[in-house]
Amino acid sequence: MENPLTLEPLFRLGPVPVTEPVAVTWAILVLAAAGCHLATRRLRLAPGRLQTVLELFVTALDSQIRDTMQRDPGRFRTLIGSIFLYVLAANWSSLVPGIEPPTARLETDAALALIVFAATVWHGIAALGPGGYLATFAEPSWVMIPLNLVEQVTRTFSLIVRLFGNVMSGVFVIGILLSLAGLLVPIPLMALDLLTGAVQAYIFAVLATVFIGAAMGEHPPASQTAKEPRP
Amino acid sequence: MTFDWWTLGLQTVNVLVLFWILSHFLFRPVSEIIAKRQAAAMDELGRARADRARAEAALAEARARDDDVAQQRAALLSEAQEGAERARQHLLEEARQEAAGLRAGAEAEARRLRREAEAAMQDAAADLAVEISQRLLARLPGPGASAGFIDGLAKAVAELPEQTRQGLGAAGPVAIRAACALGPEETRALADRLAAVLGREVALSVSVDPALIAGLELDAPHAVVRNHFRADLDRIRQELGAHG
């Protein structure tokens, strides 16, 4: 029997092995590009139904970011919104028969967590400066420096493991039930998987927001919050 | 369990590419249209506020204009009332004057009518008196109706101017009209009396005219001597009319 935790390349581009998560992500990229292009090519001041849904999503995303970070959401909208949409699309890709969600693989989750980690460091330094950012590791006391450093690593790993464990477990359970019970039995669990996938996408995006906001400090400059939203 | 570093790298790149795709095709255009709508709404709000301010200013101006119009209306109304009162007084005065004029004219007309009626009544009374006298005198006997007037006629002829008296009977018989036919004695007496007055004999041509009622009338070329009741009654009536 094939080990479900091993990752075999589908094909190779020269020396680069292309695995299933990469191929599925490419498909998601293509669908996202095409879908977003079609959906936003004729935006109007008097919105239609689809435009209203898109604006509602962006407005809710901005509101979530503003409430969590107490900052202008324009700088973080693309990062947080893209992470949420990608994790959601990747989780729900399991509905397509024969497709394993990319987030059920550690590599994908690690890539997302690394991006969040890099964004945390980047925005922390941008907001506080290199010295100020490093000084946050000595809060509330220099004794906490080792623990804060470990925290940076552990919370990144927690992002990876949380997403990986939830999605992978769902895939495993459905696969086991399919092999044991038949076609229709896993459907309730697949529906539960949809909910789990949406919740995990939301949790991943909210945690990324919290981490970045924490790295930028508790009290943002007044001029930064007073800025108009920008794309 | 294995970990594929190539997959990690590719997925990292893929996610970064997804960031660009979603930013370019989703978040940027949607946030731009939201911002554009907000700007349009703010513009509309600003215009609405400006319109409201203008409307309020126009309303205040209209109210001020209404107040001015009301004041002007009150002034004009008061002035019109005063003018109407003056016109009414003027018309009343004119009416009084016209009524006074009409009353004076009516009174004058009434006086004139009364005078005319009185004159008519006097004429009728005179006619009635003449008629009564005429009827009464018509009952007198014939010779007496003329004989008693011979002396009076002779006296009247004697009072004529000399030249007129000289012309009597010069061109022919003197025309005498009598109320009734004269008898021979009466004719002789008349001829004698005239001869005595004129100093010469004159021929007489006596004719009868009952309209004289009683008396005689001498018709000369340049004079008429009347001595009969008809002439007396005509004179009386003229005098009555003149006194009425």
The last residue of one of the domains, among B67, B92, B111, is B111
Considering only residues 192 to 231 of chain A, which have any Cβ-Cβ distance to chain B shorter than 8 Å? Answer: 228-231
Q: Is B39 within 8 Å of chain A by CB?
A: no
B144 and B107 housed in the same domain: no
B106 and B5 housed in the same domain: yes
**Mean pLDDT, rounded, for A139-163:** 90
Cβ neighbours, 10 Å, residue B72: 10
Report d(CA B21, CA A86) in Å as an integer.
11
Domain-located, residue B192: yes
Domain-located, residue B118: no
**Tens digits of pLDDT across chain B (244 residues):** 678 899 999 999 999 999 999 999 999 999 999 999 999 999 999 999 999 999 999 999 999 999 999 999 999 999 999 999 999 999 999 999 999 999 999 999 999 999 999 888 877 887 787 778 777 776 766 555 577 788 888 888 888 888 888 888 888 888 898 888 888 888 888 888 888 888 888 888 888 888 887 888 888 877 888 888 888 888 877 777 666 5
Q: Is A156 within 8 Å of chain B by CB?
A: no
B165 and B202 housed in the same domain: yes
**What is the predicted ipTM?**
0.88
Shortest distance, CA B47 to any CA of chain A (angstroms): 18
DSSP string for residues in A104-130:
GSHHHHHHHHHHHHHHHHHHHHHHHHH
Per residue in B142-154, pLDDT (tens digit) is 555 577 788 888 8
Provide the residue type at A189 as one letter: L
Domain that holds residue B237: 140-243
B170 and B214 housed in the same domain: yes
**Closest to B174 in 3D by CA, of B202, B196, B147:** B202
B82 and B146 housed in the same domain: no
Q: Is A14 within 8 Å of chain B by CB?
A: no
User: Which residues of chain B have a CB within 8 Å of the CB of A228?
Assistant: 35
Domain-located, residue B19: yes
If 0-12 CB within 10 Å is exposed, 13-18 middle and 19+ buried, where does residue B58 land?
A: exposed
Per residue in A118-136, pLDDT (tens digit) is 999 999 999 889 998 898 8
User: Which residues of chain A have a CB within 8 Å of the CB of B21?
Assistant: 29, 32-33, 36
Report d(CA A32, CA A85) in Å as an integer.
9
Is residue A168 a contact partner of residue A91, using CB atoms and an 8 Å limit? no
Determine the 3-state secondary structure of B205 from DSSP: strand
User: Which residues of chain B have a CB within 8 Å of the CB of A105?
Assistant: 7
Cβ neighbours, 10 Å, residue B193: 17
Looking at every residue in chain B, the average pLDDT score rounds to 87
Report d(CA A69, CA A127) in Å as an integer.
13
B93 and B6 housed in the same domain: yes
Report d(CA A25, CA A34) in Å as an integer.
14
**Closest to B149 in 3D by CA, of B211, B214, B206:** B214
B158 and B80 housed in the same domain: no
CB neighbours of B231 closer than 8 A, spacing ≥ 6? B212, B215, B217
The reported pLDDT for the residue numbered B1 is 67
CATH of the domain at B213: 3.30.2320
Q: What are phi and psi of B152, to 5 degrees?
A: -65, -40
Report d(CA A142, CA A137) in Å as an integer.
8
From the list A22, A29, A78, the residue facing B23 with the nearest CB is A78
**Closest to B202 in 3D by CA, of B183, B212, B187, B181:** B187
Report d(CA A106, CA A5) in Å as an integer.
9
Q: Is B43 within 8 Å of chain A by CB?
A: no
Contact A21 B8 (CB under 8 A): no
Domain-located, residue B209: yes
Report d(CA A182, CA A171) in Å as an integer.
15
DSSP string for residues in A57-113:
HHHHHHHHHHHHHSS-GGGTHHHHHHHHHHHHHHHHGGGSTTPPPGGGSHHHHHHHH
What are the angstrom distances between the C-alpha of A212 and each of A70, B61, B146, B240?
12, 58, 173, 149
Domain count, chain B: 2
The reported pLDDT for the residue numbered B50 is 95
B177 and B103 housed in the same domain: no
Between CA B142 and CA B150, with CA B147 as vertex, the angle to 5 degrees is 145
B2 and B73 housed in the same domain: yes
Shortest distance, CA B11 to any CA of chain A (angstroms): 6
**Closest to A79 in 3D by CA, of A216, A221, A227, A220:** A216
B8 and B103 housed in the same domain: yes
